[in-house]
Structure 1
Amino acid sequence: MNKKFLFSLFLSGVLTFTFAQQKKITLENIWNGTFRTEGMEVLRSMKNGKQYTVLNFNRSPRNSSLDKYDYTTLEKVETLVASSSQIPYFTSYTFSDDESKIILATEVEPIFRRSRLGIYYVYDIASKGITKISESKIQEPLLSPDGSKVAYVRDNNLYIFDVAGKNTQQITTDGSYGSIINGVTDWVYEEEFAFVRSFAWNSNGTKIAFLRFDETNVPHFSMDVYGQDLYPYQYEFKYPKAGEENAKVSLHMLDVASSSISKVDLGEAYYIPRIKWMNNPNYLSVQTINRHQNHIKLHEVNASDNSVKTLLEEKDEAYVDVTDDLTFLPDDSFIWTSEMDGFNHIYLYDKNGKLKKQVTSGPWEVTDYYGYDQANDRIYYQSVENGSINRDIYSISSSGKKKKRLSAKEGTNSGDFSADFTYYINTFSNSKTPYEFTLHRANDGKKIKEIKDNADLLSTLDEYEMVDKEFSTIHINGNDLNMWMLKPKNFDPSKKYPLFLYQYSGPGSQQVANRWMGSNDYWHQMLANQDIIVACVDGRGTGFKGRDFKKSTYLNLVKYETEDQITVAKELSKLPYIDEDRTGIWGWSFGGHMSTNSLLKGNDVFEMAIAVAPVTSWRFYDTIYTERFLRTPQENPEGYDNESPFNYPELLKGDYLLVHGSGDDNVHVQNSMRMAEALIQANKQFDWAIYPDRNHGIYGGNTRNHLYQKMTDFVIEKLRDRPKKPSKLLKQPIKG
């Protein structure tokens, strides 16, 4: 026999054996940490710009330490504080402005998404002394600029603790659960405006500005908590649903020396989503926005007499986004981001609110603002200039000239800059490369050294059946939409595969991005290697393709997004390797609303859907989010009801799995209960699961594994192994 042929046969056998040894991804792999990525610990630049701090943890023995590192060497310089017999184990920290003292957080417990209660201490770096702020659990402690005092909230009231004297002064006295809140936000501000602490020290520690919420007339919400005891109990809080009354919010000014409080008159301000002191300690900036959220104002408050001047205002036919990009330069001129030219860009204003320059421009979006280097006149930002699925880091002068692309690799790049903008740490990933961390010079982007990568994870993944995401665009309803697709590893174009769509689709969101995988991506890989084609398309209303594309769904939330997913399924079903009779869709939260609507309104296209924690009526969701996109139900009832799936349960033809956590404080289980009741009364069979006491994330213990096993079984039974439909052609009788 030919020796060359024998060698080829042997090599073929080796390759076949090697391929056969690749393992299939399991749910246990996904949820037990097999594919966990190595990350950089959260670091914070010291004010000298040459060093940074990292909070490090050890599991055995259990301790924590706050360590200082050098940017150039990445080596530890010193330990600032470590847990010990005298210093309790701490899980977060905050410096005073002068970096002389540190607040250490212990015994922290969550309230809602961002809010926390805890026992806090002040650590003095020079004396190494430690002082407990309060015997009770408190919220949001913040050191004065010189580190001599701590302001915090307890039981809805604002307090000030004197560190040296170890005495406490109660500043407000009217705080009461369910009615008055001082210094922290209510539920809806926390969730939708994304902040909790609503007080701030000025730059010399003489004033504190704070917000007061009067939620007395906000409708009351309660949900059952089943727990482990004989009787369940009700958890109660104020939750303003669309069209209902919000808390009345007001701005107040505390003079620290005299303890006097005065109210600032902001006119007809409805929401106050941001307060921020300027560099001049006598001036506070305040952002206000109307209930429709289409008219935002930036005010200047003179803290000496509480007089108010409007610096700028911006209107939009749909809505205006609230961001944290406002930055005051040394002379209190300021940087602001806006979509006013159709894309999100950076603008420079003088201290009186006069526009000096639109700094960035073009048919692309600025996606993150990193800051301004005054000494070298460089603004640092992230954008999608290199394609809406990619992210790059750039610098530009305040005149809009001398723009530089600092990142080099195509994918998702983000920057963490030193305080003086000498260095930055670049976090990079793309769909084929897990996170890489590298140190760079900020002035030109030159890489100084590699810090950490995930080469070990790539080696682990070599043992498993993995396929690459195929990125493309698909032309749907007049738009080129971003898409990715996963095909089985042993893909055969002559076969017919079921199609399973995944999406979220919420306003300004993005699921089709050139970045590393998350948990759902591994689940999609698992499904792909069970002979299912998985695809994702970002339809109208999603982000980073300009104002008009994002806001095209205004007043008709879910209508056009659903039409896009239905059309996507129809178009992809024309591909020769996709079985048009086995089409499914799934999503979570907004995506659960979408999958439900798609199954019902696209009942001639979709055979199955999974909806996890779905909104089923926007009437049940909160004011700030919902009214931003739909206005109130009183103004736009059709926009609320025409896309509410429990108003047309009779349209259900396919298989439907409905999942919710009973302890969801965000999208209440009421949504799924109303959907279930509508389907029952319409005599429509469906599958469902309620996870006791689980919140919107539906996790804890074995919960995620159980949920994804249920979803996997449903996909296999109702999609992959779905019986083929009878032929549409009637067989002709055989003539004798």
Structure 2
Amino acid sequence: MDGDGAPGSPRRRMRPPTGDSGGGVGVGGSGMMKLLFVPYDSSYEEKPPVIGGPFSLSSPSVARAGVQNGGAGGHGAAGAGAVHPITNESSPSGHHFGIPPPEILSFPTSDGKELLYAALYRPDPSRHGPGPYPLVCSVYGGPHVQRVNRSWSQCADMRAQRLCSLGFAVVKCDNRGSARRGLKFESSIRKRLGRLEVLDQVTAVRHLAARGVADPTRVGVYGWSYGGYLAAMCLCRAPDVFHVAVAGAPVTSWDGYDTHYTERYMGLPAENPEGYGESAVFDHVPNMRGRLMIVHGLIDENVHFRHTARLINRLIAAGKDYDLLIFPDERHSPRRLRDRVYMEKRISDYFVRNLLRPPPGVAGDGTGGGGYGAGVNGQGGGLRQMAGHL
């Protein structure tokens, strides 16, 4: 395996220190490093180097590793392809835990100009029937992030797997504006945030409905931060498609967010007033017809609680009902285990009460306090275990 593309020259594979950084594994070490993202089953010979950056697991037992031009200790690799294994550990696949990996899908955008990728989590048909199922869209959708990939972390998305176990189909779709698809794809939302993202999520819903997977009359959406913004925009800009939304720590108007982030994508407010107005959730609130739950930490240092407060004022002015879950001493996302458990219970309960129809012969009053709703509230132990993995 070569660091500079020159076949046959000796290289050394490091044993880098690693640490859990939440969504991936950090790599460090002394000296200059070149990280090569190399699929182990690939026959493609030219591997473009990436300086720094993360690496992740492409399956539970196969890791992508770093290569450097000598210097630090490690296992030697003499010549292209001669790689000494660093470890020989393997982890059980998701099937051992009863969490099968999602299906990776692709379908064109509504204008046919781009291809979208999505990850689909299906309920167990032996428990929940063949479908169509109520659908929940898990969204982020903003720049710098790509969520759909063939990775172990994709399989181990415990919230998606939890909802799936309750009878929902769950889909993640990387809409236009998301990362790692080239400048044209990512910059397509420039100066008009919240428009193409919603359109592409609608395309994903319609694709799954056409396949008989999703029930188009029961569609929910959830997300956090930019994903919370997109969840609220989906509910307001596509009310015929989305019926329930959980918006976590949502940006609601870009004139109130970090300038170093916002102005990269929106320009200056004085130079793009129309774009700032259209990209705010506020002007679309009158179109909202579904159920909305807003979740926010009161001392959020990233998306300040002011965003939620301003949205609530607009909801009240428009006469729209909403539900609010506040964590008084949490920041951008809950960190205490008890708060995570409580939040996950409330999120899953919200979708159950508003999207799942009680099975025949099972009474439910729609409050979550008894009947069908009690089946969700009684899962504290499982939710506590799940929250520890999020």
Pairwise same-fold verdict (TM > 0.5): yes
In structure 1, distance between residues paired with 2:247 and 2:297: 12
| Match for residue 119 of structure 2 among 468, 484, 487 | 484
Are positions 1:672 and 2:322 aligned together?
no
Contact 2:14 2:73 survives alignment (8 Å): no
Report the RMSD for the aligned CA atoms in angstroms: 3.6
**Which residue does 1:87 correspond to in 2?**
none
**Which residue does 2:147 correspond to in 1?**
511
- Partner secondary structure for residue 354 of structure 2: helix
- Partner secondary structure for residue 447 of structure 1: coil
Are positions 1:501 and 2:137 aligned together?
yes
Q: Deviations over 1:670-704 (max 9, x none)?
A: 11111112112211111111111211122124111
**Which residue does 1:382 correspond to in 2?**
37
**Which residue does 1:184 correspond to in 2?**
none
- Partner secondary structure for residue 279 of structure 2: coil
**Which residue does 2:370 correspond to in 1?**
none
Pairwise CA distance, 1:448: 1.6
Contact 1:470 1:486 survives alignment (8 Å): yes
In structure 2, distance between residues paired with 1:471 and 1:682: 40
| Match for residue 575 of structure 1 among 211, 217, 229 | 211
- Partner secondary structure for residue 583 of structure 1: strand
**Which residue does 1:185 correspond to in 2?**
none
- Partner secondary structure for residue 474 of structure 1: strand
Are positions 1:417 and 2:53 aligned together?
no
| Match for residue 236 of structure 2 among 600, 621, 624 | 600
**Structure 1 residues 423, 634: closer, same or farther in 2, change over 3 A?**
same
Are positions 1:613 and 2:249 aligned together?
yes
In structure 1, distance between residues paired with 2:140 and 2:161: 18
Q: Deviations over 1:584-639 (max 9, x none)?
A: 11111001110100011110111101111110111111111100001011111111
Contact 1:617 1:644 survives alignment (8 Å): yes
In structure 1, distance between residues paired with 2:276 and 2:165: 39
In structure 2, distance between residues paired with 1:381 and 1:686: 47
Are positions 1:537 and 2:173 aligned together?
yes
Are positions 1:555 and 2:191 aligned together?
yes
Contact 1:466 1:489 survives alignment (8 Å): no
| Match for residue 625 of structure 1 among 258, 261, 274 | 261
Q: Deviations over 1:190-219 (max 9, x none)?
A: xxxxxxxxxxxxxxxxxxxxxxxxxxxxxx
Pairwise CA distance, 1:468: 2.4
Pairwise CA distance, 1:572: 1.9
In structure 2, distance between residues paired with 1:723 and 1:599: 26
Contact 1:466 1:525 survives alignment (8 Å): yes
**Structure 1 residues 714, 528: closer, same or farther in 2, change over 3 A?**
same
Pairwise CA distance, 1:423: 7.9
Contact 2:13 2:77 survives alignment (8 Å): no
In structure 2, distance between residues paired with 1:644 and 1:50: 49
Contact 1:582 1:722 survives alignment (8 Å): no
Contact 2:132 2:212 survives alignment (8 Å): yes
Q: Deviations over 1:176-195 (max 9, x none)?
A: xxxxxxxxxxxxxxxxxxxx
Which amino acid is the alignment partner of residue 205 of structure 2? A
In structure 2, distance between residues paired with 1:643 and 1:453: 48
Pairwise CA distance, 1:521: 0.9
In structure 1, distance between residues paired with 2:144 and 2:17: 32
Contact 2:118 2:148 survives alignment (8 Å): yes
In structure 1, distance between residues paired with 2:229 and 2:237: 12
| Match for residue 634 of structure 1 among 262, 270, 278 | 270
**Structure 1 residues 440, 686: closer, same or farther in 2, change over 3 A?**
farther
- Partner secondary structure for residue 105 of structure 2: strand
**Structure 1 residues 636, 722: closer, same or farther in 2, change over 3 A?**
farther
Which amino acid is the alignment partner of residue 116 of structure 2? L
Q: Deviations over 1:464-501 (max 9, x none)?
A: 43222111201122221011101112267743310111
Which amino acid is the alignment partner of residue 615 of structure 1? V
Q: TM-score, normalised by structure 2?
A: 0.74
**Structure 1 residues 531, 640: closer, same or farther in 2, change over 3 A?**
same
In structure 1, distance between residues paired with 2:36 and 2:351: 42
In structure 1, distance between residues paired with 2:14 and 2:107: 47
Which amino acid is the alignment partner of residue 490 of structure 1? P
Contact 2:244 2:354 survives alignment (8 Å): yes
- Partner secondary structure for residue 261 of structure 2: helix
**Which residue does 2:284 correspond to in 1?**
648
Pairwise CA distance, 1:413: 5.1
- The structure where helix makes up a greater share of residues is 2
Pairwise CA distance, 1:542: 1.1
| Match for residue 328 of structure 2 among 692, 697, 710 | 692
Which amino acid is the alignment partner of residue 662 of structure 1? L
**Which residue does 1:282 correspond to in 2?**
none
Q: Deviations over 1:522-581 (max 9, x none)?
A: 221121121111111111111222111111111112211111112222232223242111
In structure 2, distance between residues paired with 1:568 and 1:50: 41
- Partner secondary structure for residue 448 of structure 1: coil
- The structure where strand makes up a greater share of residues is 1
Give 1:97-116 correspondences, 5 Å limit: none
- Partner secondary structure for residue 710 of structure 1: helix
Count of paired positions: 330
Give 1:697-736 correspondences, 5 Å limit: 697-721=333-357
Contact 1:616 1:671 survives alignment (8 Å): yes
**Structure 1 residues 723, 53: closer, same or farther in 2, change over 3 A?**
closer
Runs of at least 5 residues in structure 2 that lack an aligned partner in the other structure: 1-11, 20-27, 50-57, 361-390
Q: TM-score, normalised by structure 1?
A: 0.41
**Structure 1 residues 578, 518: closer, same or farther in 2, change over 3 A?**
closer
**Which residue does 1:566 correspond to in 2?**
202
**Which residue does 1:466 correspond to in 2?**
99
Bigger Rg over Cα:
1
**Structure 1 residues 599, 421: closer, same or farther in 2, change over 3 A?**
farther
**Structure 1 residues 620, 705: closer, same or farther in 2, change over 3 A?**
same
Contact 2:14 2:72 survives alignment (8 Å): no
Runs of at least 5 residues in structure 1 that lack an aligned partner in the other structure: 1-48, 57-92, 98-326, 328-369, 372-379, 398-408, 425-438, 725-736
Contact 1:589 1:612 survives alignment (8 Å): yes
Contact 1:423 1:441 survives alignment (8 Å): no
Contact 1:381 1:394 survives alignment (8 Å): no
In structure 1, distance between residues paired with 2:310 and 2:88: 49
Structure with bigger RCO (C-alpha 8 Å, 6+ apart): 2
Pairwise CA distance, 1:414: 3.1
Pairwise CA distance, 1:53: 7.8
